[in-house]
Structures are given as structure tokens and as C-alpha cells.
Amino acid sequence: MNGKAEVAQRGHSKEKRNDLRIIGLSMLVSFEEEIPLFYGVYEGNKPDAIQFAVVVEKLRKRYVRAFGRDVDITLVFDRGNNSQNNLDLLAESELPFHFVGGLRQSQCAEVLAVPKAQYKALDGTEFGKTCAYRTQMTVYGREMTVVATHNPELLQVNCKES
């Protein structure tokens, strides 16, 4: 045995660091206080969008086993998990899931083109100057609510001297 963790595998990190070993992590947390309830780890060389179905099913089974069938689960995932198969899985699941997912720019270009003057400020001091635009659109053949946000404090332009 070489002492290396089997789950840590070379994969494609967001930082383009293909020389490092990566571990994928999925987590189910409580709504209030965000207390971790369950987690799943998977090899870092498996694409998130492909691993998504496996992870969702494991977390769903664990939740049902612990809390029963009357569940209300909201999945939050980034655009790396955004696919027709994954949305079909969520919509057609034995237990319906609520979900919030990221879209690729090419999937919502018309929403991103909406002038910021049409965005509405969010209530609550915790949102700072963040504003949002909410609309309905078809995503993977399903009518969905799409929300674009804009936070001028996070919007930064990096300029380099030549």
C-alpha cells in the first residue's frame, strides 16, 4: 500500500491546477443554521455533471432513512452540474426536489442583456447594493424562474499596466 487516498485523484480544478489531487464534495445542510446533515465525497477526476445523479440519489436515500418520506429538499448547484439529464432527474424523481442552479452565459444571454435600470434592489442590509432581475424562461424544455443579480461592489475590472 502506498498510503495515498483512493478518492484523491488528479482532475480539472477551477484554478487550472491539473497537477494536484482533488476530492469532490457534496453536502446536505439544514436550512436553519446551515448545519451539515450528510455529505458525500467522490474522486476528483470524475466530472461533476456525471457524478451528480449518483450523489443526489445517495443524499436523498440518507435523508429519507433519517427523516422519513415527507421531505422538502432544495438542491443548490453550480453550472458545472447544469445538464438536460440532471434537470430531468430532479423533475422526475420519486421525491420532487426544489433546485437552484447556475446557468451558462450562453443559456441566458437575453436576461444578461436587460439594462441594470430594470433590476430591483434587494431588501435587507446584508445584500448591500445588490439588485436583481427576475423573469420566466424556458431552460432545457422546462419553464423556469431565472434570477440575474448585480452587485457593483463585486464587479471589478482588472487593468494591467503595459
79 and 118 fall within a common domain = no
24 and 92 fall within a common domain = yes
User: Percent of the chain having pLDDT more than 70?
Assistant: 85
25 and 58 fall within a common domain = yes
Residue 160 covered by a domain: no
Q: How confident is the model at residue 110 (pLDDT cuts 50, 70, 90)?
A: very high
Cα distances (angstroms) measured from residue 104 to each of 79, 83, 101 = 6, 10, 10
45 and 81 fall within a common domain = yes
Domain end marker among 102, 120, 142: 102
Residue 77 covered by a domain: yes
Domain end marker among 102, 130, 145: 102
pLDDT in tens, 39-95: 888 887 777 778 888 888 887 788 778 777 666 778 888 888 888 888 888 888 776
Domain end marker among 102, 131, 146: 102
Residue 42: φ, ψ to 5° = -150, 165
Q: Which residue has the higher pLDDT, 112 or 23?
A: 112
Q: How confident is the model at residue 134 (pLDDT cuts 50, 70, 90)?
A: very high
Mean pLDDT over each residue of the chain, to the nearest integer = 81
pLDDT of residue 95: 65
64 and 91 fall within a common domain = yes
Q: Are 72 and 96 in contact (CB under 8 A)?
A: no
Residue 159 covered by a domain: no
pLDDT higher than 70, residue 161: no
Q: Which domain holds residue 73?
A: 1-102
8 and 60 fall within a common domain = yes
95 and 112 fall within a common domain = no
pLDDT of residue 132: 95
DSSP the chain: -----SS-EE---TT--TTSEEEEEEEEE-TTTT-EEEEEEEETTS-HHHHHHHHHHHHHHHHHHHH-S----EEEE-GGG--HHHHHHHHTSSS--EEEE---GGGSHHHHTS-GGG-EEPSSGGGTT-EEEEEEEEETTEEEEEEEEE-TTT--------
pLDDT of residue 3: 61
Q: What is the pTM of this model?
A: 0.70
pLDDT higher than 90, residue 148: yes
pLDDT higher than 50, residue 162: no
User: Number of folded domains in the chain?
Assistant: 2
pLDDT of residue 115: 95
75 and 19 fall within a common domain = yes
134 and 70 fall within a common domain = no
90 and 59 fall within a common domain = yes
